[in-house]
Amino acid sequence: MKTNLLLLLTGALLVLAGCSKKDSAAPAQGHHHHAPHGGVLVELGEHQFNLEIQFDEKRGVLQAWVLDGHAENFVRIAQREFEVQATAADRARVLDFVAVANTMTGETAGDTSLFEVPAEWLRTAKAFDGRIKAITVRGVTFNDVAFRFSVQDQDHGHTH
């Protein structure tokens, strides 16, 4: 009798364990992150960090924010600039994103999450293929990160 009860309890635990694994895996499918500023998200690493890129058409400037893996929190980095190699309409460009200080948040060049680069040409090009040469976030360097940016893709989330 004790053996049957033990087998029944063991079986029930195995069934419950199997169900919990299925349930925990389900949310990962179709997992969406939304860019806080409505830009385009570029994933850095395997769900480690994100870079949100947005074109400010009024100013003719590309902005980039370093974000956590869920694109919810800003991540300050020590890097003062990073380079993106961009190709638009078969024309190659080098975009040198420079750290932006913000006295309201206490961010300084060398301790900020926001970077900018002039990009008047994007008013007409509207899109480019990019490759981040190297960016270091919390001690991890990401090299040659390829992405596609389109002004039309702004305001859309990132799926993986």
Which pTM was predicted? Answer: 0.76
Segment (H or E) for 81 = strand 81-88
Q: How does the average pLDDT of the chain come out, rounded?
A: 83
With 70 as the cut, is the pLDDT of residue 159 above it?
no
CA distance 4 to 10: 10
Per-residue pLDDT at 17 exceeds 70: no
Is the CB of residue 50 less than 8 Å from the CB of residue 44?
A: yes
Q: How far apart are CA 97 and CA 42, in angstroms?
A: 15
> What's the burial of 23, exposed, middle or buried (CB within 10 Å: 0-12/13-18/19+)?
exposed
Distances (CA, A) of 157 to 18, 55, 82, 100, 123: 32, 15, 24, 24, 22
In sequence order, the 6+-apart residues with CB closer than 8 A to the CB of 54 are: 35, 37, 38, 39, 40, 62, 63, 64, 154
pLDDT higher at 95 or 36: 95
Q: Quick one: DSSP state of residue 45?
A: T
* Three-class secondary structure of residue 17 per DSSP: helix
At residue 145, the pLDDT reads: 98
The predicted pLDDT at position 32 comes to 62
pLDDT tens-digit profile of 45-87?
A: 998 999 999 999 999 999 999 999 999 999 999 999 999 999 9
